[in-house]
Amino acid sequence: MKLYILTENTASAKFLAEHGLSYYIEHDTNILFDTGYSDVFLQNAQKLDINIDSVNTVVLSHGHWDHGDGLQFIKNKKLICHPDAFQKRYRKNGDENIGLDLSFDELKTKFDIQYTRLPYNVSHNIIFLGEIPRQNDFESQTTTFALEDNSDDFVMDDSGLVIKLKNEIVIISGCAHSGICNIIEHAKQVTGIQKIRAVIGGFHLKYNNTQTQETIKYLKTQDIKEIYPSHCTELPALSAFYNEFKIKQLKSGMVLNFETN
C-alpha cells in the first residue's frame, strides 16, 4: 500500500500547500480521499505522475470546505460519503458557510453519489467507516460549529477509512471531529483486527490540553507502529505528540509506503 500526500498544510520542495487535506491511495484499488479546497491536489498529483482522471472513486471524510471544495475540479466518479455531508454549516461566531461550496444537487450532476451512515466496502481491503460512534468521555464533547438552524454541529458526518494489510490495519482520518480514538475503536470493531500499523490524518487537536493528553494516553496503549497527526492538528498538540512518539511532519508531496509482511 502507498499513500501519496497531495494536499497538506505544509509544503515540501516543488509541491504546493494549502489549508486542506487530500490523499491518493494505492492498494487493491486506487482511490482519492478528500480533495482539499482548490486544484492544488491536481497540481501536486501531476508532479507525482498520478493521473486523477483514471481514479474511479472519491471518498469524502466530511462536508467541510477544506476537504471537499476541490470536488469542483473533477467529475464522473463515484463519491462515497455520509448523508449529512451536504449541509450548510457555520462557525458559531461567523456567518460564512464552511460547508461544501457545491450543493447536493450540483454534486449529483457530477458524481455517482453513494452516501451511507454504515461502513461501506470501497474494495476488498478498503472500508469507509461511516458514522463513528462517540463512546469515550473526552472527545467530541463541545463544538465551535453550528448548523443553519443555529443548533450545535458536532459534524456527525465525520468519518475515515480503514485499510487492511493482512493481519494489521492502517486508519486514515480527515479531521477526526468525531475523535481519533473513537475512529480507531470503530475501525477495530469493523475489521475485527486489533493490530494497528499506522494512524494518519487530521486529529483536530488544538492545544496541549486534557483531550490531547487523554488521546496520547490512549494511543500509548495501542502499540501503533506509526502515528502521523497532521492538517488540523496545531503546534501545541503536535509538540506533545512529538515528545511522546517522535512523530514526522507530513508535507505535500510525501509518499508513505506500507509494505505487507
Distance CA 44, CA 35 (A): 11
Annotation: CATH topology of 2-257: Metallo-beta-lactamase; Chain A (3.60.15)
Q: What local confidence, expressed as pLDDT, does residue 261 receive?
A: 58
Residue keyed to cell 483531550: 211
Q: What local confidence, expressed as pLDDT, does residue 94 receive?
A: 87
Per-domain residue ranges of the chain? 2-257
Q: What is the pLDDT of residues 212-222, one digit of tens each?
A: 999 999 999 99
Give the phi and the psi of residue 126 in degrees, each rounded to 5.
Answer: -125, 125
Angle between the 235-245 and 210-220 helix axes, to the nearest 10 degrees? 30
Q: What is the pLDDT of residues 44-81, one digit of tens each?
A: 999 999 999 999 999 999 999 999 999 999 999 999 99
Compute the average pLDDT of residues 105-126: 97
User: Average pLDDT over the chain, rounded to whole?
Assistant: 97
Does residue 193 carry a pLDDT above 70?
Answer: yes
Q: What is the pTM of this model?
A: 0.97
